[in-house]
Structure 1
């Protein structure tokens, strides 16, 4: 494993699923300092816990390492704290297979754009540098639901210690991490205000994940992805270390979320350097007045959508990133800034 390197949005109604998630047991958590673990951070405490009401958190470190004990594992993450106080939107950003939290931070630079929006960004690190994005058990991941529970526990922890707003929790990810973000959106739609995947598709076959409710989702995909094709990978080759999951196409992944949200026919528009397909989620039935409105999960009049962005001249890469991708991953498009696009999507649904 690589070393653990250094380091506006409108409100929505409280999701009922998060109320359940906040009751999950948590064995222990801590920021990293001298190898200690305790029930609270032992260094770089939360700005929201030390600042008086109305004060800003400008004195807090911009990015701090943290640890969370869950399901018998000590899980690590990097946390970006914005210079703002009060309840803050939270983005959980999952790295790709074989990478780590620091690499995801460097690739996406999410906190730079999120800071201006007053958003917390957490970069968790997967066990064995990967995520259980599918429902099929394997030798390396005998419990395929482990990372879903960890993500729920991490959200609970950051709501409690960092004043993350439980009504504005988002997930994003790249590649295997993008598939993990889609799994969270599929299986925990009431927990999230939105999800985005770059170069990640819904798992298929024995590992299949199916959306269970309405949630805004954005899928960003390179038209020339040589690693995991745009058209999906129903029969990937075997891998000696960890099975590669079969997947739906990028469009089928987006359509699955559109169908779960009762969306009608999509509209596709050509934009400079990419095509954008948009499904508008159906309005909830009038009698379900206590349920979240599928077309307006934010509760502030914004219309929720599922979107697929197919980027021209782009490979298995994060569009707009300045990081040179590994050999064989294809080109990085500069026609689209995936980071800004995703955060704008989270802001508008």
Structure 2
């Protein structure tokens, strides 16, 4: 093998290594200096220690809202905090609420999909109980406003949001799911949700894991996790749950389309479609590996989610009223 051939091979290897790094690399961002306390805590649920991270503004107002943010599979609470560019932290300071990032059991939430088969599902981990315990904890420790408790989730965390819609909707004033679509009826272990709940959805048309048009969810063709509805059908599913009977308003400008089910006296459903978007949290500071697809920087998903939540009429009741 001559020097030219060896040089070409080395150049090819270097190119492939560079491409691999580009697809796998996630830029690190330092945590911003904010007027908050960042506290690590733990609750024991069903014999399991469940860690969480809470970001609490120093000047938190009385009766503040609470936002729970659920990470995707193979992530952690701190991981989704970084991946979303610490945007929820900054919103917490700007608008005066607590944001909590809990950790799933062994890397994944016990969502409703029968085909997923995470350890949390096989071991029947009580993630709904964890959520209720977290709400009760912050109600006791910080006197949060129980009528303004919200949850947002990404990927497997979005599937956890769908489980909460089915089994604990009364705990929340609003929910949001990113890069997640409703499981089909033959791929769910949960009863259908029965209580109206405001829902915001964000999905990309080129999501490599969750097909925008519906079908089999999988990790790039591996580890199939069962079928799910299309993104638009998921929006219609929750609109029907909420008693929305009028056609949605179609707005937005490319590359972001918006469907709004906003019939008066009905809980709203809003769905943001990212043309060419991947399996990511859109945002100007979001950080995901390239293999997850394109990040739309013009849509600040955390800000859109909080605007949706803060614009809702609070309908939840206190625990004493249930």
The answer to whether the superposition gives a TM-score over 0.5 is yes
| Aligned positions, number | 271
1:318 corresponds to:
281
1:307 corresponds to:
270
- In 2, Cα distance between equivalents of 1:139 and 1:95: 14
Gapped runs of 5+ residues in structure 1? 1-5, 8-58, 284-294, 296-303
Choose which of 115, 120, 129 in structure 1 pairs with 2:93. 115
Q: Report deviation, 1:234.
A: 3.8
- In 1, Cα distance between equivalents of 2:161 and 2:110: 11
1:234–1:248 Cα contact (<8 Å) kept: no
Query: TM-score normalised to the size of structure 1?
Result: 0.72
Structure that is richer in helix per residue = 2
2:35–2:93 Cα contact (<8 Å) kept: no
- In 2, Cα distance between equivalents of 1:130 and 1:326: 19
Choose which of 236, 244, 261 in structure 2 pairs with 1:279. 261
1:185 corresponds to:
165
Gapped runs of 5+ residues in structure 2? 1-29, 313-322
- In 2, Cα distance between equivalents of 1:160 and 1:259: 35
Using a 3 Å threshold, how does the CA distance of structure 1 residues 238 and 113 change in structure 2: closer, same or farther?
same
Q: Report deviation, 1:327.
A: 3.6
How big is the alpha-carbon RMSD for the aligned residues of Structure 1 and Structure 2? 2.3
Choose which of 199, 212, 223 in structure 2 pairs with 1:217. 199
1:76 corresponds to:
51
- In 1, Cα distance between equivalents of 2:93 and 2:206: 32
- In 1, Cα distance between equivalents of 2:253 and 2:106: 39
1:101–1:125 Cα contact (<8 Å) kept: yes
Q: Report deviation, 1:187.
A: 2.5
2:83–2:288 Cα contact (<8 Å) kept: no
Choose which of 288, 309, 316 in structure 2 pairs with 1:346. 309
Choose which of 227, 252, 262 in structure 1 pairs with 2:233. 252
Does residue 170 of structure 1 match 2:186? Answer: no
Q: Report deviation, 1:157.
A: 1.2
The 5-angstrom pairing of residues 97-116 of structure 1 reads 97-108=73-84, 109=86, 110-116=88-94
Using a 3 Å threshold, how does the CA distance of structure 1 residues 132 and 321 change in structure 2: closer, same or farther?
farther
- In 1, Cα distance between equivalents of 2:61 and 2:249: 39
2:139 corresponds to:
159
Q: Which moved more, 1:106-115 or 1:172-181?
A: 106-115
Using a 3 Å threshold, how does the CA distance of structure 1 residues 274 and 72 change in structure 2: closer, same or farther?
same
SS of structure 1 residue aligned to 2:49: strand
Using a 3 Å threshold, how does the CA distance of structure 1 residues 163 and 245 change in structure 2: closer, same or farther?
farther
1:95 corresponds to:
71
The 5-angstrom pairing of residues 264-275 of structure 1 reads 264=245, 265-275=247-257
Using a 3 Å threshold, how does the CA distance of structure 1 residues 217 and 305 change in structure 2: closer, same or farther?
same
Decide which structure has the larger Cα Rg and report it: 2
Using a 3 Å threshold, how does the CA distance of structure 1 residues 321 and 233 change in structure 2: closer, same or farther?
farther
**1:79-122: CA deviation from partner (whole Å, max 9, x where unpaired):** 01122231110000000110001111112221111221101000
Query: TM-score normalised to the size of structure 2?
Result: 0.78
Does residue 206 of structure 1 match 2:181? Answer: no
- In 2, Cα distance between equivalents of 1:115 and 1:139: 35
**1:188-222: CA deviation from partner (whole Å, max 9, x where unpaired):** 22211001111011223232553211111000011
